[in-house]
Amino acid sequence: MENDIHGPDRQRIHESWFRDDTVDFWRHRRMYETCIQLAEHYRGASWLTVGDGRYGIDSVRLRKLFGITSVLLSDIGSCLLERGKARGLFGEYAVENAENLTFKDDSFDVVFCKESYHHFPRPTIALYEMLRVSRKAVILIEPLDDVTLGLQLSQRDKIRPLIKSIISKLLGLEPRCPDIVTIHPVNHGFEDYGDGTGNYIYRLSIREMEKIVHGLDLGGMAWLGFNDHYTKGCEFEPAVIGNRMFIEMQQEIQRLDEQCRRFPQCQQYAFATVVLFKSGIDPVLRGEMVRAGYQFMQKQTNPVSGWKGPQSERISA
């Protein structure tokens, strides 16, 4: 980030992050507002933001949008946090490695991480740390993986291999599988910055989050899928009626939303807000979240209650 701020084309981008009248701010506000029920429920609670390196903007917006008063921001580097403090945006901040947070267990009620998790070198370790220092919940707002919400194949994709299988059997041919499967890294999460550096993007998977809830015996999980669209230059366009870019962006998001509604069996949102609850879920909060469109995971014990499998027994020699 220290190098980024000195780029001639980047300085203007950095300044745009402080504006609240742009199309880009409108995009991000939509993301924050997916957790408005949580923000209202935990308004008087203590919050920690993780990966909040853009001048602590997440903590600033949590205060302005939702009236959250107790929020400590953190990032692995201090360069932009110092500048944010000098602007009077906040007083206190913490320089923290997400993989090794220095806080004691249960130090904060809520931990909030927006669009940083997928860039962490070892995000699962970072998530464990966020869960460790939280008392109530961890909120992640992240891009979704290509196959994540129990995504099913379209009817055409289901029928095509079935037809091939039937034809092979009729002709007496053995089904052929490739000897080598080549995975193109760009299509599987690797982002090349073009300057010799890169980043493996760990987009969220709802299925993987479910495994974490069960594996760590957490209280539960809820998620809300939503769509977003970025157009270059939206950082400088005003979010006002009649602005062409604003109209096009809204139309594209509406198109994606309609696509998800029309084909629920292939429901694939671009983003999701995922909430991992440490223990029990307040029924009032749960009801509010369900009305807002959140889905709650049906947590199971392992083995599933009622399962009667082989019992261990000691056998004498």
Render pLDDT for 50-70 as a digit per residue (tens, 0 to 9).
999 999 999 999 999 999 999
What is the spatial distance between Cα 205 and Cα 274, in angstroms, rounded to a whole number? 10
Q: How many CB atoms neighbour CB 25 within 10 A? A: 20
Q: Enumerate residues 6+ apart whose C-beta is below 8 A from 252.
A: 229
Contact 27, 230 (CB under 8 A): yes
Residue 152 has pLDDT above 70, yes or no: no
- 178, two tokens: 């490739």
Mean confidence (pLDDT) of the chain: 86
Q: Enumerate residues 6+ apart whose C-beta is below 8 A from 115.
A: 31, 51, 141, 142, 143
Render pLDDT for 113-145 as a digit per residue (tens, 0 to 9).
999 999 899 999 999 999 999 999 999 999 998
What is the spatial distance between Cα 99 and Cα 40, in angstroms, rounded to a whole number? 29
What is the spatial distance between Cα 2 and Cα 201, in angstroms, rounded to a whole number? 21
CA neighbor of 268 nearest in space, from 149, 153, 143: 149
Q: Enumerate residues 6+ apart whose C-beta is below 8 A from 305.
A: none
Domain assignments of the chain as residue spans, ordered by start: 2-153+192-296
CATH number, domain 2-153+192-296: 3.40.50.150
What is the spatial distance between Cα 273 and Cα 228, in angstroms, rounded to a whole number? 12
Q: Which residues pair with 245 in a beta bridge?
A: none
Note if the pTM is more than 0.75. yes
- Identify the residue with better confidence: 30 or 177: 30
Q: Enumerate residues 6+ apart whose C-beta is below 8 A from 72.
A: 46, 47, 48, 49, 59, 92, 93, 94, 108
Per-residue pLDDT at 312:
46
Q: How many CB atoms neighbour CB 18 within 10 A? A: 14
What is the spatial distance between Cα 284 and Cα 288, in angstroms, rounded to a whole number? 6
Lowest-confidence pick of 134-143, 190-199, 225-234, 242-251? 190-199
What's the pLDDT band for 168 if we cut at 50, 70, 90? Answer: low
